[in-house]
Structure 1
Amino acid sequence: MAEISAVQARTVLARAFADDPLMVWFFPDAEVRPHACAAMFGLLAEHYLADGRVDVASRTGPVAVAMWRWPGPGADGGAGPEELPSMGGLLAAFMGPARAQEVGVAMGTLAAFRPPEPHAYLHLLGVSPDAARQGIGGELLDRGLAAVRAAGLVACLDTMNPANVPFYEAHGFSVRAEVELGPDGPTTWSMATG
């Protein structure tokens, strides 16, 4: 299914999310942000390439990536107890332990707004800036949604970018909740199909 390496995926996603409100909240320093995003997305890419669904759009190389969490074993998205780094450990290294805990608690509140299991969760959908606004993200999303429907599942996601809400609505998602992530965090739109 996926024809992309973790290195390629983390690079595409870091570029795609460089100015995303959540990433700006996580990593306020604009010079550090692409590198911190790449490390975080690289960890996620390793997991999803092993235990999830990864869709890729390529031109001369990968230009867009969608990572889906499917129900079943390995669905929690975490590293095994012996594997380093863990997501929490990585964030603590970048943000400091207190800030990482604050961010983790805020992000943990979003699970309450997702549909009951089983469902498919679109964790990340990113298009390289030089390939944006060409319909590539929509094509990639439609590919994943076709697989979701074929499996008889509901799809859900959380977006912190207000520009993404109409895009996802045009593809059959609706807003289930609008949530503020802490006193200084971005607004989150929890969305689902069906």
Structure 2
Amino acid sequence: MGVGIRAAGEGDRELVVRLLDEAFQDDPVSGWVFPEREYRRTTHHRLMAAFTDIVLAEGRIDVTEDGTACALWLSMPAADGDGPDDGGGSEDADDAVRLRESVDPANPRVEEIARLMADSHPADRAHEYLWMIGVAPAHQGEGLGSALVQHVLDRCDREGLPAYLEASSERSTKLYERLGFTFADHTLDLPDGPRMWPMWREPVTGRGH
């Protein structure tokens, strides 16, 4: 049975924020950013809202027709090499500061996670970046996440685009491996915290899409 998927709009913002908040409450990385569980319950949604707003403005959010899962994608250009740091480093740092100030001003880990992810992001080739994927806890394990990712990977294959993501748990790397992603040879280790697994997928040609 196919999964109905549509592009989210501004009217879906609250739905997407709620999905991400519920899906990532117990995620190792969210637990590192907001270590105290009760504080995470009341604050975590602000980080998810900031991410949602960025992608609504600059990328694409896909949601299942029944509203039980979403995926946030950004189209990343190749670095042009014209800037002094060849990768927008100062701009990324400014973005990280603004994120902390808007989400949880006294929490340096909000800024730190943004900096670390930006610094580790491949910049040499244009690609589709799967920033986050959230599935309502009651519907996890039903294949919704795979369907959402494959929806964009089919386009990547047609257009010859690679794709990139950071898996936030070793368990989720297995899902992405089944979709053609491979480990990018280094982990992103959070200070005194969990690790993330950067993964890359080359486009598959000759699939007839």
TM-score of Structure 1 vs Structure 2, range by shorter chain: 0.7 to 0.9
Distance verdict in 2 for CA 1:51–1:183, change over 3 Å: closer
Q: How does 1:53-132 map to 2 (within 5 A)?
A: 53-59=60-66, 62-71=67-76, 86-93=98-105, 95=107, 97=108, 99-111=109-121, 114=122, 116-132=124-140
Q: Find the aligned partners of 2:155 and 2:195 in 1 and give their Cα distance.
A: 29
Q: Find the aligned partners of 1:176 and 1:23 in 2 and give their Cα distance.
A: 22
The residue type paired with residue 9 of structure 1 is V
Residue from 2, 13, 17 that aligns with 2:8: 2
Q: Structure 1 vs Structure 2: percent identity of aligned residues?
A: 27
The residue type paired with residue 86 of structure 1 is R
RMSD: 2.6
Distance verdict in 2 for CA 1:130–1:17, change over 3 Å: same
Q: Deviation at 1:179?
A: 1.9
1:27 and 2:34 are equivalent in the alignment? yes
CA deviation string 1:74-93 (max 9, x = no partner): xx9x9xx9xxx931313552
Q: Deviation at 1:102?
A: 4.1
Distance verdict in 2 for CA 1:56–1:137, change over 3 Å: same
Q: Find the aligned partners of 1:102 and 1:46 in 2 and give their Cα distance.
A: 19
CA deviation string 1:50-89 (max 9, x = no partner): 2211110132xx11110011035xxx9x9xx9xxx93131
1:12 and 2:36 are equivalent in the alignment? no
Q: Find the aligned partners of 1:146 and 1:35 in 2 and give their Cα distance.
A: 37
**Counterpart of 1:177 in 2: which secondary structure?**
coil
Q: Deviation at 1:110?
A: 1.9
Q: How does 1:149-168 map to 2 (within 5 A)?
A: 149-168=157-176
Distance verdict in 2 for CA 1:52–1:102, change over 3 Å: closer
Gapped regions of structure 2 (runs ≥ 5)? 1-6, 78-87, 203-209
Distance verdict in 2 for CA 1:101–1:39, change over 3 Å: closer
Distance verdict in 2 for CA 1:105–1:176, change over 3 Å: same
Q: Find the aligned partners of 1:36 and 1:130 in 2 and give their Cα distance.
A: 22
Q: Which moved more, 1:153-162 or 1:142-151?
A: 142-151
Q: Which moved more, 1:126-135 or 1:4-13?
A: 4-13
Q: Find the aligned partners of 1:116 and 1:141 in 2 and give their Cα distance.
A: 23
Distance verdict in 2 for CA 1:176–1:35, change over 3 Å: same
Aligned 8 A contact 1:158 1:189 in 2: yes
1:172 and 2:175 are equivalent in the alignment? no
1:147 and 2:155 are equivalent in the alignment? yes
The residue type paired with residue 52 of structure 1 is G
**Counterpart of 1:149 in 2: which secondary structure?**
helix
